[in-house]
Structure 1
Amino acid sequence: MVHKLIEWSLKNRWIVLMLATGLFVWGIFAVKKNPIDAIPDLSENQVIVFTEWMGRSPQLIEDQITYPLVTNLQGIPKIKYVRGSSMFGMSFIYVIFEDDVDVYWARERVLERLSTVTGTLPTGVAPQLGPDGTGVGHVLWYTLDAPNIDLGEQRAIQDWYVKFALQNVPGVSEIASFGGFQKQYQIAIDPNKLLYYKLSVPEVIAAVRANNNESGGRKFEMSDIGYIIKTSGYLKSLEEIEKIPIKNQKGTPIKVSDVAAVQMTGETRLGIFDQDGEGERVGGIVVMRYGENADEVIDGVKAKMKEVSKGLPAGVKFDIVYDRGELIKESVDSITTTIIEEMIVVSLVVIVFLFHWRSAVSIIIQIPITIAASFILLNAFDISSNIMSLTGIALAIGVIVDNGIVMSENAYKHLSEKYELWQNEQQKKLNEI
């Protein structure tokens, strides 16, 4: 088989050269399309289920949320195992699938199973899926440099302006906010006053909920104009909350202000984000979607940041604290430089030791063609250009050259033998004459 292939190649040299040129051009396009990252993604094929039930102990979370979810999610097809983790007010379920399973197919199966499990969980508890990213999907961290704005306002800017803008960048799965205060109304109930007025905490909660609502009416037409009637009862200030009546005792309404203190403050926090020891900051984490090109996603986020900066308050700007783009650039440049240097050194060694320019050219020309063709296979198997894959290509250059040298020497040996036989035959003919 090999003998016939070599024979056909020798007889059709121009076809072989055209095929090699086409393979090289295809490889060049594959290089441009191949995703670039600093490190290979070795994380497991997983789907994260996050459930929040604030104020509950880890043991209660384990018994009423984590355990029911783990036992019900174990029957999903093509699953390897399920891990559960319970902590104060939160539950995390890690559903690990087989490596050949499509991640979006896996997320659909988990959603289907969650729709049947939700009814068995406590009232008001709703499990949700984590972002469609991997363990190495955190490609960019940034903070807001806003020295003259309080942390509550900074977090509002991050959650209601910056986050929504950056999430529109192609390839971004989620913008995870951190730091600052999430503004909220808090009602601090005095238990002694509740006892005095003979009220309970559920009565206070029910009164606030009933007075923070909006209901629809109907539509009517007058003078060929349609009007919609509705009642708007959403709370807009501390004073409105304080004036909410809870109960009527002997003709006197008991208001929220009679039994509690209402204030505007931040949600209870479990930690802070301090930058360089200069104080607390507010920022976000850019999570890349599964299978995206990290380099393109980072460039897209940075371009979007320049656009978003125009709408930020005066004096507020972005401060990038972690940028994998720099690591990607340095890593790829380092490996690329090494590959080029190795190609030059190997070419010189081949020329010096063979000392035959046609044989040397036939060997050297294999190096760029083979490297370009290797990117076709990288794209076919969804492997990015990273430290590991490019290092493997650099190490393979020696194997490529060894193969060419062996084949050239073998061909030269057989040609020399044939040439020697031909010379002997010609000498015999001369002697006979």
Structure 2
Amino acid sequence: MNISELFIRRPIMTTLVMVGILIFGLISYQQLPVSDLPNVDYPTLQVTANLPGASPETMAASVATPLEQQFSSIAGLSSMNSTSSLGTTQLTLQFDLNRDIDGAAQDVQSAIAKGAKQLPTNMPNPPSYRKVNPADQPVLYISLNSSILPLSTVDKYADTLLAQRLSMVDGVAQVQVFGSQKYAVRIQLDPEALSVKGIGIDEVADAIANGNVNLPTGTLYGKQQNSTIQANGQLNDAASYRSLSVAYQNGAPVQLGELGQVLDSVENDKIASWYFPVKKESKSAGEKSKIVRLSGAEVQNSGVRAIVLAIQRQPGTNTVQVVDAIKKLLPSFRTQIPAAVNMDILYDRSQSIRESVDDVQFTLLLTIALVVLVIFLFLRNISATVIPSLAVPLSIVATFGVMVLLGFSLDNLSLMALTLSVGFVVDDAVVMLENIVRHMEMGESRMEAALNGSREIGFTILSMTISLVAVFIPILFMEGILGRLFREFAVTISVAILVSGVISLSLTPMLCSRFLSPPHHEQEGKRGGGG
């Protein structure tokens, strides 16, 4: 049985099949997402519970412990960590890699509902959970700061304009705001003033709640038209709160400004983020400017309070494309925010990915060039060098198509697999070529040598290909995070080897039957006989 005979006798069919594989692989290459490592989804959930004013010990005993008891019965839970601080408890639930994250989320929701009766009744909200991926770090950090406008104003532009628009970009999962400074009025009551006036804190709280409302007032119904009564009871700044009447004593109102300080502030003044610009040192003419990072006292004096946006991508998306799409929007953002607000890029994860992927791609091209050079040095025949060399790009390009079908990405591990496969994919084609050349040295024509040589060596090439693939089978069954990471590596290199085996049994003998030059000594013998 000769597997290659069909391809040898039908060169047009073989050529069209290979061209189709080439086109499919090139199109697939454009669709491959680019990342630094393979996309591995960690089934991790984070549960957050808040109880304002509670100490860390109280949070651990009354909130964390009941939740841990409920979560411990969930199937597939591999680890559980809890952290309690002032008024907040966070529990991180790590599940087995084969556990469905949606099913785990439903189990967590059921456990929270079941343990709600054991939690403190004065909790403002029930515990909430969200899906997290520890390996999916933000791909871009953007800083907003201003030396003129207050941070609360900068936060308004960051939260309402930039964050909402960036979250709509294709491939963006979420936008986190670090150092948020939402505007709020902070009231600092004076205990002595309250004692003198004989007013309690509860009276002040009720007066603030009643004096700052935005409720429907009613409607006036007339014979011909109706009128909606609009009463604006919203207090928007500290000056409006200062004149708020808390109580009446001796026929005169007691205003809030008499009982303490009313300040324009932010909701949480215990969090902050800084932006440290890089100082450029100018040199004399002819010398390049030198970038110097500030340290010590210079850093403390040069730090600028800022609002930082952390942008995370969706799993399986192209990091480089997501970052490029975001950067295209930055000029439009600069026109929509005041000129006094500075917008800078703190960290761009795509830069390191571009550099690493470009480096590996260069290594791959260099490896292909070296393999072709070695083949030429040993065969010393251009046609005999070109024919097996075609198996390398075709095998790699065809592998791109399989990678797209399997949902893989173009990362360091997959490119390393392709680089290592270069030496494997050319072996089968060289073996096939060498056997066909041996038959031509015995006096057979190119067609006869291709048919006979491929029939003799076809099963050998098939066994070689399968044995090489079998080496990487154990990697496919590795468990844990390492198994998930190297699974893409093993599949990529195995597919490249299998494709090279198919090309060596189809394209290589067909090209040999049409374009392989006869051995040198045969040509010299013909010339000598003619003389």
Q: TM-score, normalised by structure 1?
A: 0.83
The match for 2:44 is 46
Tell me: CA distance 1:363–1:101, structure 2 relative to 1, closer, same or farther (3 Å). Answer: farther
Distance apart, 1:398 and its partner CA: 0.9
Counterpart code for 1:387: N
2:150 and 2:217 map into 1 onto residues whose CA distance is 41
Distance apart, 1:56 and its partner CA: 3.4
Q: How does 1:178-197 map to 2 (within 5 A)?
A: 178-179=178-179, 181-197=181-197
For the 8 Å contact 2:152–2:183, the answer to whether it is kept is yes
Q: How does 1:309-388 map to 2 (within 5 A)?
A: 309-388=334-413
CA deviation string 1:264-300 (max 9, x = no partner): 1233224432414322242311122222221111011
The answer on 1:280 being equivalent to 2:304 is yes
Deviates further, 113-122 or 140-149? 113-122
Query: Matched residue of 2:376: which SS?
Result: helix
Tell me: CA distance 1:86–1:43, structure 2 relative to 1, closer, same or farther (3 Å). Answer: farther
The match for 2:234 is 234
Deviates further, 331-340 or 174-183? 174-183
The match for 2:172 is 172
2:407 and 2:229 map into 1 onto residues whose CA distance is 57
Tell me: CA distance 1:409–1:184, structure 2 relative to 1, closer, same or farther (3 Å). Answer: same
For the 8 Å contact 2:44–2:133, the answer to whether it is kept is no
CA deviation string 1:71-99 (max 9, x = no partner): 33445555444332223343322232343
CA deviation string 1:195-221 (max 9, x = no partner): 444544344323322332222244565
CA deviation string 1:342-399 (max 9, x = no partner): 1111112112213344443332111111111222332233322122221221111111
Tell me: CA distance 1:209–1:117, structure 2 relative to 1, closer, same or farther (3 Å). Answer: farther
Query: Matched residue of 1:216: which SS?
Result: coil
The match for 2:213 is 213
Distance apart, 1:167 and its partner CA: 2.0
Tell me: CA distance 1:26–1:224, structure 2 relative to 1, closer, same or farther (3 Å). Answer: farther
Distance apart, 1:16 and its partner CA: 3.6
1:346 and 1:125 map into 2 onto residues whose CA distance is 65
1:34 and 1:85 map into 2 onto residues whose CA distance is 39
Structure 2: segments with no counterpart, 5+ residues:
278-298, 449-531
2:218 and 2:114 map into 1 onto residues whose CA distance is 36
The match for 2:476 is none
Tell me: CA distance 1:224–1:37, structure 2 relative to 1, closer, same or farther (3 Å). Answer: farther
Distance apart, 1:144 and its partner CA: 2.4
2:65 and 2:41 map into 1 onto residues whose CA distance is 25
Distance apart, 1:414 and its partner CA: 6.5
Tell me: CA distance 1:299–1:101, structure 2 relative to 1, closer, same or farther (3 Å). Answer: farther
Identity across matched positions, percent: 21
Query: Matched residue of 2:264: which SS?
Result: strand
Deviates further, 411-420 or 70-79? 411-420
1:408 and 1:141 map into 2 onto residues whose CA distance is 54
For the 8 Å contact 1:43–1:134, the answer to whether it is kept is no
Deviates further, 79-88 or 166-175? 79-88
Tell me: CA distance 1:150–1:233, structure 2 relative to 1, closer, same or farther (3 Å). Answer: closer
Q: How does 1:64-83 map to 2 (within 5 A)?
A: 64-76=62-74, 78-83=76-81
2:200 and 2:428 map into 1 onto residues whose CA distance is 85
For the 8 Å contact 2:154–2:341, the answer to whether it is kept is no
The answer on 1:157 being equivalent to 2:157 is yes
Q: 2:57 aligns with which of 53, 56, 59?
A: 59
Distance apart, 1:137 and its partner CA: 3.0
1:330 and 1:215 map into 2 onto residues whose CA distance is 57
Q: How does 1:16-165 map to 2 (within 5 A)?
A: 16-42=14-40, 44-76=42-74, 78-101=76-99, 103=101, 107=105, 110=108, 114=112, 120=119, 122-130=122-130, 135-144=135-144, 146-165=146-165
The match for 1:304 is 329
Deviates further, 402-411 or 260-269? 402-411
For the 8 Å contact 2:213–2:234, the answer to whether it is kept is yes
Distance apart, 1:31 and its partner CA: 0.8
For the 8 Å contact 2:22–2:398, the answer to whether it is kept is yes
Counterpart code for 1:47: L
1:209 and 1:198 map into 2 onto residues whose CA distance is 20
Aligned residue pair count: 420
Q: TM-score, normalised by structure 2?
A: 0.69
Query: Matched residue of 2:192: which SS?
Result: helix
Instruction: Please provide the CA RMSD for this pair.
Output: 3.4
Query: Matched residue of 2:372: which SS?
Result: helix
Tell me: CA distance 1:255–1:145, structure 2 relative to 1, closer, same or farther (3 Å). Answer: closer
Tell me: CA distance 1:207–1:316, structure 2 relative to 1, closer, same or farther (3 Å). Answer: closer
Structure 1: segments with no counterpart, 5+ residues:
423-433
1:272 and 1:55 map into 2 onto residues whose CA distance is 24
2:208 and 2:153 map into 1 onto residues whose CA distance is 26
Query: Matched residue of 2:325: which SS?
Result: helix
1:385 and 1:269 map into 2 onto residues whose CA distance is 42
1:33 and 1:163 map into 2 onto residues whose CA distance is 27
The match for 1:15 is 13
For the 8 Å contact 2:185–2:265, the answer to whether it is kept is yes
Query: Matched residue of 1:310: which SS?
Result: helix
1:369 and 1:221 map into 2 onto residues whose CA distance is 81
Q: How does 1:235-274 map to 2 (within 5 A)?
A: 235-247=235-247, 254-266=254-266, 267-274=268-275
Distance apart, 1:405 and its partner CA: 2.2
1:236 and 1:103 map into 2 onto residues whose CA distance is 43
